[in-house]
Amino acid sequence: MINKYKVSENRLSIMEIERFAVHDGPGIRTVVFLQGCPLHCSWCSNPESQKRKPHLLHIKNKCIGCGRCEAICPRGNISIQDHFPVFNRQACVACKACERICPQNAIKFVGESITSSEIMEILLRDRDYYLNSGGGVTFSGGEAFTQFEGLMDLLIQCKNEKLHTSVETCGQVNLDKIKQALPLIDLFLFDIKHTDKDLLQKETGANLDTILTNLRYISSKSANKVTIRVPVIPGFNFNENTLREIFMLAKENRIKCVHLLPYHTLGKDKYEQLGLTYPYSCEQMLAKEELFPFKEMGEKMGLEIRIGG
C-alpha cells in the first residue's frame, strides 16, 4: 500500500473507457479518456475532449428526421428544418431525453461524470490481462492533468493494486503536479509538437518553456519513464529540421524512444456531429511510408523510432 498518499473519492469527467487497447503503452491496457485540455490544436481529432462537459453529437447519416427528438425536448431546444433536427447546443442541459428516444441512435452524448471508485471497478475487471501481457492502465485525454485531484486518486489506487500506470500528456502542466505524480507513474507518453516557441504558442496555445521544464525534470529523475510522442502534422512540423531537433531533444534528455504519429483526419466527422467546421486546412492524411525517412534518421541518431503509438 502507498500509505503516504491519501485516497479520496473524486468525480471525473470522462469521454470513454477503452478496454483491450494495445497502442497506449506496453501490453494489453485499459485507457481512460479524461475531458479537458489547455491547448487548442486545430488538428485535434477529439474536439469533444477539450471542455469538461457533455457534448451532443448528431450522426446525420443515421437520422430519419422523425421529429421525436423535437417533440420530447423539455426546453424546446430542437427544431426540425429541412427534415433534420437543428440543436440549440448552448441551451442544452444534457438531460439526454433526445438520445433515449431516437430510434436510429443518431443522437448521443459524450462526456459523463463518474466516480473514481466506479472507474476502478472497470479497470480491475481486466487485471489478469494486464499481468499476463505486461500491460496496465493509461490515462489520456484531453489532458489528464487538468483533472489533477481525480487523476492522483486513480493513480494511487492503481499502484495500491500493483497495476502498471501510464499517462499521456501534452506537458502543459504545473511542475509541482508533475513532482507529486511522478512516483505513481510508470510511463509518460509525452507529446512534443514543435521546438519553435513562437510557432507552438500560435498554433496550439502551449508554452514551450513549461513543457521543456517538465520534460527535463522527469528525465533527470528517470529518463526510462519517458516516451516522446510527436503528432506529425503537414504544414506544421512535417519537415526534416523540426523532427531532427525533436530527436536531439530526446537524446539530450537520455530518452531512447520516440513515436511518430502520422496526421489523420479520422476525427473529422466529429466536428460535423458537434455542429462545428473542421478547423485545420490540410485534409490529406499522412501515410506511414511518408515517415520512413524520419524513422531512419532517428535510428541513425541512436534512438528507437516507432511509427504509430
CATH number of the domain that 134 lies in? 3.20.20.70
* pLDDT confidence of residue 7: 60
Listed as ranges, residues in the chain with pLDDT below 50 are 1-3
Q: Flag whether 33 is in a domain.
A: yes
- Residues 172 and 70 occupy one common structural domain: no
Q: Flag whether 242 is in a domain.
A: yes
Please tell me the pTM assigned to this model: 0.93
* pLDDT confidence of residue 8: 66
pLDDT tens-digit readout, 99-149? 999 999 999 999 999 999 999 999 999 999 999 999 999 999 999 999 999
Quote the number of domains for the chain.
Answer: 2
Domain hosting residue 214, numbered range: 9-49+112-305
* pLDDT confidence of residue 5: 52
Q: How far is CA 263 from the centre of its chain?
A: 15
- Residues 17 and 83 occupy one common structural domain: no
Reference 77, options 69, 65, 88; nearest CA is: 88
**Dihedrals phi, psi of 12, to nearest 5 degrees:** -125, 145
- Residues 81 and 182 occupy one common structural domain: no
- Residues 35 and 181 occupy one common structural domain: yes
* pLDDT confidence of residue 226: 98
- If phi over 0 gives left and psi between -120 and 50 gives alpha, with beta otherwise, what is residue 235? left
Residue 306 and residue 195: Cα distance in Å, rounded?
20
- Helices 197-204 and 208-222, packing angle to 10 deg: 110
Torsion of CA 306, 293, 195, 236, to 10 degrees: -100
* pLDDT confidence of residue 3: 45
